Amino acid sequence: MPSHSDPIWMQKFSYSVVMGAVFGMMLRYMQVTDSAALTMVSFPGEILMRMLKMLILPLIISSLITGLAGLDARSSGRMGSRAMVYYMSTTVIAAVLGVILVLGIHPGNPKLRGGNSSSTSMKNQEVSSLDAFLDLIRNLFPENLVQACFQQVQTVLKKVPVAAANQTEPILVNRKKLEYKWGMNVLGLIGFFITFGICMGRMGERGKVMCDFFNILNEIIMTMVSMIMWYSPVGIASLIAGKIAAIGDLEVVARQLGMYMVTVIVGLMIHGGLILPAIFFAITRKSPFAFYSGIFQAWITALGTASSAGTLPVTFRCLEENLKIDKRVTRFVLPIGATINMDGTALYEAVAAIFIAQMNDITLDSGQIVTVSMTATLASVGAASIPSAGLVTMLLILTAVGLPTQDISLLIAVDWLLDRMRTSINVVGDSFGAGIVDHLSKTELTELDAAEMQTLPQEGELDFVPPPPILTEMDMVDPLKPPELPPRSPRPPKQNHHSHILSQSHSITYSPSRSVRSPSPRSISSPSPRSVCSHSPRPFRTHSPRLLRRTEPGYCVLPSHDNQVRTFYLIL
C-alpha cells in the first residue's frame, strides 16, 4: 500500500472532490430529481460513512487505553492540561473571530425573511442553557456503559396532566424530564476509558497482558482503516455529488444567503489557514505547510464525510505514519479533541446567531455579543461530532440572547456545505493540537522511554553472591556405564614443580570404574582472592560428552584441553 503522504495518493482525494462536484452539477443540469436516482448516486458514500462509523467505538477504546497505559499519572496530567488549554484557547479565538467578521461584513438583511415567512418553525421549548450544561455533565458519567454506546441522556419538556379542583379534564403542565435519545455518548465513553487506561497503567507488569491485548486491537483497527482508505475516494465523490444534486434551488439560495456563506467561509479560512498555523509555528518552530501536507488526507475525508468522529481513523494514520507523532499523544489527544475541540463550529454558531439578529433588525449590545461568544464556545464543546450537530446547539445560543429560533430553518439550505467546511477545520485544529502537545511533551516522553530501557540493577542487588551448586556423584557418572565400585580415598598429590600452586588448585580424576570424591575441605588451604587456573599434576580426564556443571560450595569447575582429551580442574 502506498504511503498516505504519497503525492499520487493525495491527488486521488483531490480528484475525488473535483469529480464529485462536477458530477453533481451535471446531474443538476440534466434535471435528475428522482429520489431513487439520487439515492443510488449517494449510496457509495453512505457505505463509506457506515464503515467509518463502525470503527469509531473500537478505535476510541483501544486508542485511549493504550495511549494512557504507556503514561504515568504525572505525564498524562500534564499532557491533558496542555491539550485543554490549547482547545479552549483556539475555540475562544474562533468564536471571537466570527463575531468580528459578522459585525464587520454585516451579511444580515431583513428582506431575506420575506420569502421565508412560511418556513417551518423550529421552536425551542426543550431546554435552557443550564439544562444543556447539566446534560453535558450527566453524559460524562453514564450509568450504564453498554447503553452509552448507543444512547445519551437529554432533558426535555413533557406535558404532564395535573388534576385540578372542580374540573373534569386534567390540566397539561410542562415538566422537565430526562430521556434517552439515540446517539453514541462519546463523552461518557471517553471519560470511562481514560480512567480505565490510567488504572491499567498503574498496575505495572500485572496489567501488561491487557495492555498487549489493546495494542493488538488498535493495530487491527488501523489495518482495517487502511483497507477502507482504498475505497474512500469513490465514497467521497459520491457524497459530494449527491448533496449538490439534491439542492432544490441553488441560485435562489446563493442569492439570499451568499454573503452569509462568504462570512463563514472567510472566517474558517482565516482560522485554519492563518491562526492555527501561526500558533503551531510559534510554539514548535516547525513548518506548518509540511504539517498540512501530512494531514491532507484527513482534511479531504472530513470535507466529504462532515464528521470529525468518522474522520478519526484517518487522522490517526496521518499523524502517526506521515508526521511521526508519538502514538501515546495521538491516542490520548485525538479522541478528546474530536469531542470537545470544535473551532469551526464555534465560529459558525457565532456568525449564525448574529446573522439571525441582523436579519430580524435586532441590535445586540456589547453584553449580548459577549454572551454569544461565550455561549458559542461552550455549546461547541457539547456539540456531538456528527453531521449538522451545530444546528442543534445553536438553539442554546439563540435562547441565551432572546433571538427567534424559527429562522434557523433558513440556514438549513446551505448547512450541507458549511457543515463540511467547519468539520474540516475542526479536524485541522485537532491535528495541530496533537502536534503542539507532542512537541511540549517531548521531555516527559523521553524520560518514560529511558526509564523503560534502563536495565541496570538497583543499589544493593550485587551485595549478595549466591554460592555455586553442589557437585554430586550422579553428575559425574556416565548413565551408559555400569554401576561404580565402592568409593576409594583419593591419593595425596605428589610434590613436584607444580607444588607452588597446589594450595590454590586441586584436581580429581574420573574413571568409569571408580567414583570420584572431592578433596576434603580441611586438607585444602584457603584460596587467594585472585586464584589463577593452572594445570594440576593429576588432571581429571574424561571422554564423556557430558560436562560437569556443579561442584561443592566455594569451588568451580573449568574445562580445558590437553592433547584433545577433555580435562577438568577443580579450582578453589
CA nearest to 144, candidates 153, 136, 132: 153
Which residues, listed in sequence order, are joined to residue 162 by a DSSP beta bridge?
171
Number of neighbouring beta carbons within 10 Å of residue 393: 22
CA separation for the pair 187, 195 (Å, rounded): 13
- Span 7-35, average pLDDT: 81
pLDDT given for residue 493 in this prediction: 59
pLDDT given for residue 516 in this prediction: 45
pLDDT at 524 over 50: no
Q: Tell me, what amino acid is at 270?
A: I
CA separation for the pair 277, 353 (Å, rounded): 27
DSSP-based three-state secondary structure for 162: strand
**Mind listing the pLDDT tens digit for each residue in 538-569?**
444 444 444 444 444 444 444 444 444 444 44
**Mind listing the pLDDT tens digit for each residue in 314-361?**
899 899 989 999 988 998 889 888 878 889 988 998 998 899 888 888
Cβ(238)–Cβ(43) under 8 Å?
yes
pTM of the model: 0.62
Grid cell of 212 as nine digits = 498487549
Grid cell of 350 as nine digits = 457565532
**Mind listing the pLDDT tens digit for each residue in 250-303?**
676 677 688 899 999 999 999 999 999 999 999 999 999 999 999 998 998 888
CA separation for the pair 476, 516 (Å, rounded): 8
Phi-psi region of 347 (alpha: psi -120 to 50; beta: other; left: phi over 0): alpha
- Specify burial of residue 479 (Cβ count, 10 A radius: 0-12, 13-18, 19+): exposed
Domains and CATH numbers, the chain: 9-442 (1.10.3860.10), 468-572 (no CATH)
CA separation for the pair 12, 57 (Å, rounded): 28
Element (H, E) at 231: helix 208-245
Say which residue the cell 489527544 belongs to.
333
pLDDT at 505 over 60: no
pLDDT at 32 over 90: no
CA separation for the pair 99, 380 (Å, rounded): 15
Residue 467 pLDDT level (bands cut at 50, 70, 90): low
DSSP-based three-state secondary structure for 173: strand
pLDDT at 571 over 70: no
